[in-house]
Structures are given as structure tokens and as C-alpha cells.
Amino acid sequence: MNERENVIEVTGLRRRYGPAGPDGFEAVRGMDFTVRRGEVFALLGTNGAGKTSTVELLEGLAAPTDGRIRVLGHDPYRERALVRPRIGIMLQEGGFPSDLTVTETARMWAGCTTGARPVGEALEMVGLEHRAKVRVKQLSGGERRRLDLAMALVGRPEILFLDEPTTGLDPEARQRTRELVRALRAGGTTVVLTTHYLEEAETLADRLAIMRAGRIVLAGTPDEVRAAQPSRIRFTLPAGLDAGELPAGIGEVVPDPTDPRTVEVRSRSLQRDLTDLLLWARERDVELTGLDARSASLEEAFLRIAESDAGAGEAGATHAEPVGAGA
């Protein structure tokens, strides 16, 4: 009964499409991480960061170019017959025959699955029981996603892989899917999910990893990832003052390149630095217009990583050390 048992272990993972050299493309460029039994692990990243390429390797749909993967102690590609009965997969773009009904589709899938749960139960779990007799081609995009999720749940998986499970769902269905993930986690299922929605990762994930260009650039619990980011204070100085006159030691002062009087302070200790700043302002009788102070958020961490992606490419490498990855 080891609660810290790793159900997924990844070391030095690489995946290359096409030949070596400029004609090929390396989507996964050296990833190391572990997922522990019973936790929800989220992979975040902009489009093209390599999330789906990574998840496909974990699912055993393709062999990695390099590196080692163990899922439940086995190689998911070479030993897929041992791994597949114990995992559930929801692809980002999977399909079902358009002329079968929802129930017929689920029955087909259950017939291919060891220890399948009753078809009706799987459909109820995703709230699709009222559409049981409807043909797949008449389902909405969101309903198809939920059918796909129901199929992933049919085998009562120990590990559930969800590639963007809530994309295309309306807010109510999205909420419902999140509640389902929580219920599964409470029941002991390990969940690996990719998502575009930061608040989804923030509220669901026990641990998350933010990917950029095939690498993990930031990883840890949502709190750890947030804590790794500086808080931010923004304001505009009155005419005649410039950023050089601000008190020393309030964090990194970054003037706006287009308007040097508008200042952003990146702070590791928001309360202390803000107090220093405000005391300074009262002493000098300076009005800080548009004063705005906010704690670090996951969104900010994500945007900074995305920005560094658009800009200097490898400049974000300062974050390359996973935060608390071993915690």
C-alpha cells in the first residue's frame, strides 16, 4: 500500500517525426517526469508544444525515438497487451462509426474490453443516457467528446489518459466532466490530462507540467508553479520622476519601453515590497496612478512561458529546472 508508487516513469523521452536533420521535426525533446498513483497530472502548453505527441507515447500508440517509458511497470508500446487492459484512453481526435447508435458503439467497445462496466452505466457517467438510441452522426461535437470519454471509462482503468477532454464542451458539460474527474480521483484512478484551460489544470491537477517546444519548462503542484513566478506591481509615476528614484530592494523594476513613467515591479515578496513602495510614496508625496498589485497566477506563468516562446525561443531556459518535481 505504497501511496507514493509511481505508475508512470519517463526518462529522456524524445519523439521525432521524419528523418534526422532539417527535414524532420522533433516534437518531444527530452522529457523526464513521473506520475504517482491516484493523482491528477496535467500537461499544459500552447498548440504545438508537444502535449499530444507526449501523451501518445505514454499510451503506447507509437514508439519513442529515444528514452524510456514505464506505465504500470511495463513498456506501453512493446508490452501493450499487458498495459492496455489497465488504462483508458480518450484521444483528441477519435471517431466512431457514424451510422451506429450511442448504445451500439458502447457495446462494440465493451466487447473489446476486459472487465467492462455495463454500457448504460458508462453512458450515465458522462450524462449521455438520454441519447442512447441516437446515431453518432446526429450527436453534437460535445456529445461525441462525452461518448469518447465514456468509452475510456468502460474498462474501469487504473490510469485514464484524457487529451483535451473538455475542448468543445459547453460550460455545463465541462463542469460535469470536471466533477467526474474528481470522483474518479476520489475512487483511486490516476488521471493524466492535457488541457488548454488553465483554471481546469489549477482546480483539478495535483501536479502539472508546462511544456514548451517539446520540453517541460515548469513543473510542480499548482502552488509551487505559482510560487515560482514573481508577483507584479504596476503603476505610473508622475511627471518629473523616473524609475531610478524608486527605493532600492523592492524587486526587479521594469519600465515600460514605450512609456518610461509606467513601471512594472516583479516581486518575490509582494507584501514587503508593496509596503516599502507605499511608504516611499507617502514620504515623497508621490501619487502612483493606476496602482495595481497582484499575486502570481498560473495564467501568468503560462503566458510568460508562451511569450518567451514567441520571442527569444530558448530565453525561457531560466525556468528549465522543474520546481518541486521530486516533492
Residues found near another protein in the complex (CB under 8 A): 1, 3, 37-38, 59, 61, 72, 81, 84-86, 89, 91, 93-100, 104-105, 107-115, 117, 121, 124-127, 129, 148, 151, 155-158, 176, 179-180, 183-184, 186-189
Minimum distance from residue 8 beta carbon to another protein (Å): 14
DSSP β-bridge partners for residue 195 = 44
Between 193 and 216, CB nearer to another protein: 193
Between 45 and 155, CB nearer to another protein: 155
Residue 236: how many CB atoms within 10 A of its CB? Answer: 15
Minimum distance from residue 149 beta carbon to another protein (Å): 10
Minimum distance from residue 180 beta carbon to another protein (Å): 4
Minimum distance from residue 31 beta carbon to another protein (Å): 21
Minimum distance from residue 254 beta carbon to another protein (Å): 42
Helices (H) then strands (E): counts for the chain = 10, 13
User: Whose grid coordinates read 483554471?
Assistant: 199
Between 12 and 17, CB nearer to another protein: 17
Q: Length of the chain in residues, anyone?
A: 327
CB distance 258 to 292 below 8 Å: no
Between 120 and 238, CB nearer to another protein: 120
**Closest among 295, 311, 309 to 225, alpha carbons compared:** 295
Between 55 and 228, CB nearer to another protein: 55
Dihedral, CA of residue 288, residue 294, residue 296 and residue 297, to nearest 10: -140
DSSP 8-state secondary structure symbol assigned to residue 237: P
Between 136 and 250, CB nearer to another protein: 136
Residue 241, SS3? coil
Between 189 and 267, CB nearer to another protein: 189
User: What is the phi-psi region of residue 185: left when phi exceeds 0, alpha when psi lies from -120 to 50, beta otherwise?
Assistant: alpha
| CA 232 – CA 291 distance, rounded (Å) | 11
Between 60 and 64, CB nearer to another protein: 60
DSSP 8-state secondary structure symbol assigned to residue 316: G
Minimum distance from residue 29 beta carbon to another protein (Å): 22
Minimum distance from residue 117 beta carbon to another protein (Å): 8
Minimum distance from residue 168 beta carbon to another protein (Å): 15
| CA 89 – CA 153 distance, rounded (Å) | 8
H/E run at residue 43: strand 40-45
Alpha helices in 33-160 (DSSP H): 51-59, 80-83, 102-110, 119-125, 141-154
